[in-house]
Amino acid sequence: MSTDPKAEVPRRSALGRVRGYGSAKEGVGHWWTQRLTSVALIVLGCWFVVSMLSLPSYDYATLVAWMRRGWTELPLILFIAIAAWHSEIGVRVIVEDYVEEVGAKTIVLALSTFIHAVIGVASVLAVLRIAFGGAA
C-alpha cells in the first residue's frame, strides 16, 4: 500500500503524473449537497407529512383545493425536487458501496439518475397542471 511516489519512473507526462492522485476539488461535492438537501428536507419533509396528515379527506375536490390554496405549490415543488435530488445521491452512495462490478455499477447509477429525473420532473409538472390547470 505504501509505495513511495518518488520511487516511480522519473519521466512521465503531465497527465501521467496527475492520474490517480484524485482530488480535482470536487471530491466533497456530493457529500456537501447531501447535507444541504437534508437540512432543507427537515423542514420540507415535516411540512409535507403534516400537511398530508392534516387533510380532512383525500377526495379530488379537497386535494385540488389544498394545492390551489395560497402558496402550497411552492413548498410542494421544492419538496419534490429536493427529495428527488437527495434520494438520487443517497441511492448513489448505497450503489457505490455495495455494487462491486464497474459495468453493473455504471448501468445501475445511470438508470437511477434517469428514473429520479423522470419522477421528479413528472411530479413537478403534475403539481403545475393541478395548480394552473383549467379542469376542476
Partner 1 sequence: MGATESNGAPARGRPLSPHMTIYRMSRYCLLTSISNRIAGAVTSLGLPLLAYWLITLASGERAYSRAQPALAHPALRALYALLLLAFAYHLVAGIRHLIWDTGRGIERTESQVSAWVVIACSFALAAVLIGWANFGR
Which residues of this protein are in contact with partner 1, per CB under 8 A?
Answer: 1-5, 8, 19-22, 35, 38-39, 42, 45-46, 49, 53-54, 56-61, 63-64, 80, 83-84, 87, 90-91, 94, 102, 116, 119-120, 122-123, 125-127, 129-130, 133, 135-136
Q: Is the Cβ of residue 20 or residue 70 nearer to partner 1 in the bound state?
A: 20
CB of 60 to partner 1, least distance (A): 5
Residue position matching grid coordinates 484524485? 22
Give residue 20's identity as a one-letter amino acid code: G
CB of 40 to partner 1, least distance (A): 12
Q: How many CB atoms are located within 10 Å of the residue 76 CB?
A: 21
Q: Is the Cβ of residue 29 or residue 133 nearer to partner 1 in the bound state?
A: 133
Radius of gyration of the chain from Cα atoms? Answer: 22
Q: Is the Cβ of residue 83 or residue 108 nearer to partner 1 in the bound state?
A: 83
Check if the beta carbon of residue 82 is closer than 8 Å to that of residue 90. Answer: no
CB of 35 to partner 1, least distance (A): 6
Residue position matching grid coordinates 513511495? 4
Check if the beta carbon of residue 102 is closer than 8 Å to that of residue 110. Answer: no
CB of 25 to partner 1, least distance (A): 16
Burial class (CB in 10 A: 0-12, 13-18, 19+), 115: middle
